[in-house]
A and B are shown apart, each in its own frame.
Chain A
Amino acid sequence: GAVVSQHPSRVICKSGTSVKIECRSLDFQATTMFWYRQFPKQSLMLMATSNEGSKATYEQGVEKDKFLINHASLTLSTLTVTSAHPEDSSFYICSARVGQTPYEQYFGPGTRLTVT
């Protein structure tokens, strides 16, 4: 149980285009989802916290107009990278929290974004 999927697993896009990444909780309802970004050989950096039916809370330094997060249902959150540039190339990982259990976050397998 507690499986989180991400789609796509890899995506290559041209500079200036937008890319949408989906994060789904497959067998549970996730009231809260988190989006992380990971640079090579570096930590996972929290980008934003997404609560179902409300606006996402972005971490300091993350451009909310560039990284659009939508959490329209209890099983789906999306991250859209708008007007992508090569510096947006990265590994994006989502996680979901089950109910109000504070310590249980289930992670998706990640999406590798390459902007050319």
Chain B
Amino acid sequence: GDSVTQMEGPVTLSEEAFLTINCTYTATGYPSLFWYVQYPGEGLQLLLKATKADDKGSNKGFEATYRKETTSFHLEKGSVQVSDSAVYFCAHGGFNKFYFGSGTKLNVKP
């Protein structure tokens, strides 16, 4: 069945370090792919999305490329900041139904 698998956290990095959070998915058809971020005490916010193979989503320095051949959508950022500390969720879905990964907590230390 459809699912999303993302690396377990927490991930702890120093400020300005490079970030990668791995995400792979299984799906019937060709879903859209998403990264959501959840800051403490807040709801999930859409960080970026890609709607077809080879698309690259980007926002706030974060990037992810829709790789159909490896069924992956890894999140990257070249230089993280303390303010990026949050929980990141990978998801795939379409018009109605979304499938979420279990979330990866990122801690960025000054």
Q: Which A residues are within 8 Å of any B CB, using their own CB?
A: 4, 6, 32, 34, 36, 41-44, 46, 49, 93, 95, 102-110
Distance in Å: Cβ of A83 to nearest Cβ of chain B: 28
Q: Are A109 and B42 in contact (CB under 8 A)?
A: yes
Q: Determine if B97 and A103 form an interchain contact, defined as CB atoms under 8 angstroms apart.
A: no
Evaluate whether A49 and B102 lie within 8 angstroms (CB atoms) in the complex, with A93-B43, A103-B49, A109-B42 already known. Answer: no
| Given A43-B102, A105-B46, A105-B98, 15 more pairs with CB closer than 8 A | A32-B96, A36-B100, A42-B102, A43-B4, A43-B100, A44-B98, A44-B100, A46-B98, A93-B43, A93-B44, A103-B49, A103-B93, A107-B36, A107-B43, A107-B45
Chain A's closest residue to B89 (CB) is: A44
Name B residues whose Cβ lies closer than 8 Å to a Cβ of A: 4, 32, 34, 36, 41-46, 49, 51, 89, 93-103
Give complex CA distance A96, B34 in Å.
16
The reply to whether B42 and A43 contact each other, CB–CB distance below 8 Å, is no
* Shortest 9 CB-CB contacts between residues of A and residues of B: A107-B43, A107-B44, A44-B100, A102-B95, A43-B100, A109-B43, A43-B102, A108-B43, A42-B102
**Is B4 within 8 A of A103, CB to CB?**
no
- CB neighbours (8 Å) of B36 from chain A are 107
Report the Cα distance A105→B89, complex, angstroms.
14
Contact status B34-A103, CB under 8 Å: yes
Assess whether A103 is in contact with B44, with CB atoms less than 8 Å apart.
no
Q: How far is the CA of A61 from the CA of B4 in the complex (A)?
A: 19
CA distance A21 to B56 in the complex (A): 37
Q: Which residues of A are found within 8 Å of B95, using beta-carbon distances?
A: 102
Name the A residues within 8 Å of B44 (CB-CB): 93, 95, 107
With a CB–CB cut-off of 8 A, which chain A residues contact B101?
43
In whole Å, how far is B39's beta carbon from the nearest beta carbon of chain A? 10
- Residue numbers in A under 8 Å from B51 (CB-CB): 103
